[in-house]
Amino acid sequence: MLQTIEGADQYTFHTLLENVEIEEPEVYRVKESLEKARAQLRAFPGSIDAIVGYIDMPVGFMVPILCCEFGLPTASLESVLKCQHKYWSRLEQSRVIPDHIPDFNLVDPFADDPLAQIELDYPFWLKPVKSAGSYLGFRIDDKSEFEKRIQAIRDNIRRLSDPFDHILEYANLPDEIAGVDFNYCIAEQIVSGRQCTLEGYVFEGDCHVFGVVDSIRYPNRSTFSRYEYPSRLPGRVTRRMISITREFLDYIGFNNSTFNAEFFWDERDDRIWLLEVNTRISQSHSYLFAMVDGASNHQSLIEVGLGLRPGMPHRQGRYHYASKFYYRMFQDAIVERVPGQEDVQRIEQQIPDAMIRVNVSEGMKLCNLREQDSYSYDIAWIFVAGNTRQELQARYRECVTALDFRFAYRHQ
């Protein structure tokens, strides 16, 4: 994806930390990773012109810290936290765009009676103030469901929260946030509608959105089925979303960084809900922009990181449409067959510009997949492009059939 951007041959990209260290490790070591990154940067013999990242945790927090220390363009850590810390984000949003956010309550899952902190009617969402991939996020329909899920949160939240509390030591926190570490949760009113994501950047105070991607869910309404680009939403709706995003990011002082903002449009009431703002590009969308617009969204990441105004192309790609499909299972099973690398390469050659990533291995139990949402198992990612939306669906089905996954279902 980095090689799809304009001027890629003029840049040299250096790995600062290996993926295995920072993506889904058994134990997150945020403090140690920061020290390792600093040491590598100090020892680097050449010029350091940008430090960028496109992974949520911990990279999304490390980039502003490191850029600040090495004098490079970046958003402030406080403005990043005002997006990424779900409770702090909702507090700030309630002051500037109150009509576009759900009702919410702060929840200490380790309190004697955490349910007493929630003033919302059932059903509602319960999730950590910072997580990844909807990990430990639950729809709560009644008291018994709450008691079950709060125990799961108590048992698992510290794996993420404790290492990341180190990040808060670098930020100037207001009194209302100083005691709210990453062991807390947030309960939110459930909102719904047609979902989309705005991708853009803020450069020297100018907020620009260069693409809108639809996020299409399975019938359970909590699990992603696919991302599809360009969006089908009416222009009048996406323009309102852009205005809401600009108002919020300007209010919190977010600057010199990429972002993506997730929204619902309730078509019946013509109401727009802001779900969240992520302070990075979405890797899930990179292929989509490359196929349709002619360059990955990495171009905005690199250019704003260098202190340049990004020049993202528009509709200069080989296709009119592109999608990332999530091939999922909705019950636990043992993986009996996984397509090998040769199988995957053959399918990618047969279906023009298809790209496949397999997320499971033979013999594994799906319940052992790390950091999944609470309702499904993410088996593979299938990226396809085409000149009609029907062609996207046909190419996806062709990939699934050819991959020939096989599972042994576990009867309860």
Q: DSSP assignment of 10-53, as one string?
A: G-----SS-HHHHSS-SS--HHHHHHHHHHHHHH--S-------
Contact 368, 329 (CB under 8 A): no
Answer whether 0.85 is exceeded by the pTM.
yes
Contact 312, 377 (CB under 8 A): no
- Tell me, what amino acid is at 23? E
Q: What is the pLDDT along the chain (412 residues), one digit of tens a residue?
A: 888 899 999 999 999 998 877 776 667 788 999 999 999 999 999 999 999 998 887 899 999 999 999 999 999 999 999 999 999 999 999 999 999 999 999 999 999 999 999 999 999 999 999 876 678 899 999 999 999 999 999 999 988 788 888 999 999 999 999 999 999 999 999 999 999 999 999 999 999 999 999 999 887 666 789 999 999 999 999 999 999 999 999 999 999 999 999 999 999 999 999 999 999 999 999 999 999 999 999 999 999 999 999 999 999 999 999 999 999 988 889 999 999 999 999 999 999 999 999 999 998 998 888 766 667 888 999 999 999 999 999 999 999 999 999 999 865 4
Task: Give pLDDT, residue 29.
Answer: 85
Task: Give pLDDT, residue 21.
Answer: 78
Contact 203, 304 (CB under 8 A): yes
Task: Give pLDDT, residue 25.
Answer: 66
Contact 164, 182 (CB under 8 A): yes
| Non-local CB neighbours of 310 within 8 Å, separated by 6+ positions | 201, 203, 208, 210, 299, 300, 303, 304
Location of structure tokens 């299938």: 382
Alpha helices in 44-117 (DSSP H): 59-69, 77-84, 86-96
